[in-house]
Chains A and B, each alone.
Chain A
């Protein structure tokens, strides 16, 4: 992995101090708001109206986390979100890998039209499709199930994942694939044994996009699952609000609890799966 990049053009900046500066920029840009939420979750509500504002909590408290778990079944929200996001990521990746391969490799006559049609899906504001979507789910008797969310989430992430994978697949030289086929692989075998591993960073990114899309979605989750046992995190977090009250510290605690699993998942994936795949894949 690192070998790939050291000889890249960016290595102008690869001196140690410059790397530290780069790391600092990345971390501050990415982490600051999340850290702010973390600090807030350790403050009392009274500390938020102190002037001038405080950055670090004066007297850190975990009371907000206790309240977040005792007021609402936060662990149930987490479990539902995790399962829905995971399952919809799997279906999205499977469906979009297949479709992207067809679009990238088989010289289709209506390629442009199919691509536009797939993109068109993502150009309608979801809120205007809500009622007919609800009717479909009711007709299929899927309301108050995970599937009611997995199906539309798959469709929502399908366009971006498919298009991304098309662009990555097109970058893989065809002879690698042909070599595999001569070695007795079928076309689909070559897809999964050669093309997908070679595009691991792309597939991983597509998977992350699909996962986070599903993890964040609010509108459909609110409308299709009224059963509290099936609520997902974004809907659940709204429940910490009162009719008027907006208790930042408790909501921050719930947000932190919502971000941590995603973060852990990304770290594990990055360290174990992607590094391994790419190290074996790109010999260039």
Chain B
């Protein structure tokens, strides 16, 4: 960063001062102009729904009660603290996040490094990174539920070929949880890999050549060149992977429906249940606000990390 700023001032000195002043002046206007489309779209599409969501969370609004909406302040939030299902689903969600985010990062990094090898044909590699991602989420859940099916599933079939007796995955909370986590890692590691691969491809070759001249080994090159230069891409991938992990819905919904019992139900499933199935819009909104708060905490931490390391 510092070298490029130096370069700018360097060049600017050669320009007439009027030109540079004009550039400085137009910076703000340009920023407004460039950010305007995004700002307009966001405010048109998302601001009203979000505000209404937060507003609704302060009301007792359960359509099945037949009662009109009533302002109750923080009562929905208070109910939440006393609600064991809220705690169970939140705990499951946090656990899924803690397992699948690092899992997807490690697998995704490995896939990206493999995919970055000098293959003669690039598209089969690209394609195999993209297909997991292009499979509609809800159907991916159904397909993997089938893979882990105790009788008709390919997992137990492969185990049997190695002489290992299969298990009934969805009869046990821990095995069902493991099956869900494996599926999520499979589905999301390709997203990680894509972003990391794009990062790998923009690293200039000259840096490695210079390192070769200096006699740095491959492993050192990875830790001293590749990883630091990949960091921005990795952080972006991590932010969104974490947010989507906190919103995990389709895969457990399709694979187990939260079972056995409620042992694999997530917060997003609980929100869906309250708003769509139970029509308890007040409570559902409050849950969504809590999920937003959770996600924002994580995001802020990530953004801090990028800023301090810069």
- Tell me if chains A and B make direct contact, with any CB pair below 8 A: yes
Binding site for B on A (CB under 8 A): 1-14, 19, 22-23, 25-27, 29-31, 33-34, 36-37, 48-49, 51-53, 55, 94-96, 98-99, 101-103, 106-108, 112, 114-125, 127-129, 132-133, 136, 151-152, 154-155, 158-160, 162-164, 166-168, 170-171, 173-175, 178, 182, 187, 198-199, 201-202, 204-205, 208-209, 212, 215-216, 218, 233-234, 237, 248, 251, 255, 258-259, 262-263, 266-267, 270-271, 275, 278, 282, 284
In the bound complex, do residue B205 and residue A167 qualify as a contact, i.e. CB atoms below 8 Å apart? no
In the bound complex, do residue B131 and residue A127 qualify as a contact, i.e. CB atoms below 8 Å apart? no
| Total interface residues in chain B, CB < 8 Å | 114
Residues of A contacting B117 in the complex (Cβ-Cβ under 8 angstroms): 5, 10-11, 13-14, 19, 22
A34–B8 CA distance with the chains assembled, in angstroms? 50
In the bound complex, do residue A133 and residue B45 qualify as a contact, i.e. CB atoms below 8 Å apart? yes
Q: Does B96 contact A (CB under 8 A)?
A: no
Q: Report the nearest A residue to B7, measured CB to CB.
A: A175
In the bound complex, do residue B128 and residue A31 qualify as a contact, i.e. CB atoms below 8 Å apart? yes
In the bound complex, do residue A124 and residue B292 qualify as a contact, i.e. CB atoms below 8 Å apart? yes
Could you mark each residue 207-225 of chain B with 1 if its beta carbon is under 8 Å from any beta carbon of chain A, else 0?
1110010000011011001
Q: Does B135 contact A (CB under 8 A)?
A: yes
Q: Does B62 contact A (CB under 8 A)?
A: no
Which of the segments B36-44, B73-81, B170-178, B255-263 contacts the partner chain? B36-44
A102–B4 CA distance with the chains assembled, in angstroms? 17
Residues of A contacting B126 in the complex (Cβ-Cβ under 8 angstroms): 266-267, 270
Cβ distance B172 to chain A, nearest Cβ, rounded Å: 22
Q: Does B284 contact A (CB under 8 A)?
A: yes
Which of the segments B64-72, B98-106, B226-234 contacts the partner chain? B226-234
A14–B127 CA distance with the chains assembled, in angstroms? 20
In the bound complex, do residue B129 and residue A26 qualify as a contact, i.e. CB atoms below 8 Å apart? yes
In the bound complex, do residue A26 and residue B115 qualify as a contact, i.e. CB atoms below 8 Å apart? yes
In the bound complex, do residue A171 and residue B232 qualify as a contact, i.e. CB atoms below 8 Å apart? yes
In the bound complex, do residue B307 and residue A8 qualify as a contact, i.e. CB atoms below 8 Å apart? no
Cβ distance B235 to chain A, nearest Cβ, rounded Å: 7
A8–B239 CA distance with the chains assembled, in angstroms? 27
25 residue pairs from A and B, CB less than 8 Å apart: A5-B200, A7-B208, A8-B200, A8-B208, A9-B208, A23-B119, A49-B152, A51-B151, A94-B37, A98-B37, A102-B30, A106-B30, A124-B50, A124-B288, A125-B291, A128-B271, A133-B49, A136-B45, A151-B41, A151-B44, A171-B232, A174-B5, A174-B8, A209-B191, A212-B133
* Interface core residue of B28, B131, B218 (most chain A CB under 10 Å): B131
In the bound complex, do residue B35 and residue A114 qualify as a contact, i.e. CB atoms below 8 Å apart? yes
In the bound complex, do residue A267 and residue B134 qualify as a contact, i.e. CB atoms below 8 Å apart? no
Cβ distance B224 to chain A, nearest Cβ, rounded Å: 9
Decide if the interface of chain A is mainly helix, strand, loop or mixed. helix
Given known A123-B299, A263-B127, contact A98–B45 (CB-CB < 8 A): no
Given known A9-B218, A10-B116, contact A129–B50 (CB-CB < 8 A): yes
In the bound complex, do residue A201 and residue B127 qualify as a contact, i.e. CB atoms below 8 Å apart? no
In the bound complex, do residue A108 and residue B49 qualify as a contact, i.e. CB atoms below 8 Å apart? no
Residues of B contacting A23 in the complex (Cβ-Cβ under 8 angstroms): 119, 124-125
Residues of A contacting B222 in the complex (Cβ-Cβ under 8 angstroms): 9-10
Cβ distance A62 to chain B, nearest Cβ, rounded Å: 21
Cβ distance A17 to chain B, nearest Cβ, rounded Å: 12
A204–B272 CA distance with the chains assembled, in angstroms? 33
Q: Report the nearest A residue to B272, measured CB to CB.
A: A127
Residues of A contacting B152 in the complex (Cβ-Cβ under 8 angstroms): 48-49, 51, 53
In the bound complex, do residue B45 and residue A106 qualify as a contact, i.e. CB atoms below 8 Å apart? no
Contact pick for A26, options B50, B125, B202, B221, CB 8 Å: B125
Residues of A contacting B143 in the complex (Cβ-Cβ under 8 angstroms): 33, 36-37
Residues of B contacting A164 in the complex (Cβ-Cβ under 8 angstroms): 195, 198, 233, 236
In the bound complex, do residue B42 and residue A155 qualify as a contact, i.e. CB atoms below 8 Å apart? yes
In the bound complex, do residue B123 and residue A9 qualify as a contact, i.e. CB atoms below 8 Å apart? no
* Interface core residue of A29, A116, A117, A152 (most chain B CB under 10 Å): A29
Q: Does B190 contact A (CB under 8 A)?
A: yes
Residues of A contacting B11 in the complex (Cβ-Cβ under 8 angstroms): 175, 178, 182
In the bound complex, do residue A30 and residue B208 qualify as a contact, i.e. CB atoms below 8 Å apart? no
Residues of A contacting B4 in the complex (Cβ-Cβ under 8 angstroms): 173-175
Residues of A contacting B44 in the complex (Cβ-Cβ under 8 angstroms): 136, 151
A12–B207 CA distance with the chains assembled, in angstroms? 17
A49–B153 CA distance with the chains assembled, in angstroms? 11
In the bound complex, do residue B233 and residue A19 qualify as a contact, i.e. CB atoms below 8 Å apart? no
Q: Does B168 contact A (CB under 8 A)?
A: no
Cβ distance A60 to chain B, nearest Cβ, rounded Å: 18
Residues of A contacting B285 in the complex (Cβ-Cβ under 8 angstroms): 128
Would you list which residues of chain B between 125 and 175 have a CB under 8 Å from chain A?
A: 125-140, 143-144, 146-147, 151-154, 157, 160
Cβ distance B2 to chain A, nearest Cβ, rounded Å: 11
Closest 3 CB pairs of A and B: A30-B128, A284-B204, A167-B232
Q: Report the nearest B residue to A31, measured CB to CB.
A: B128
Q: Report the nearest B residue to A123, measured CB to CB.
A: B295
Residues of A contacting B299 in the complex (Cβ-Cβ under 8 angstroms): 116, 119-120, 123
In the bound complex, do residue B243 and residue A282 qualify as a contact, i.e. CB atoms below 8 Å apart? no
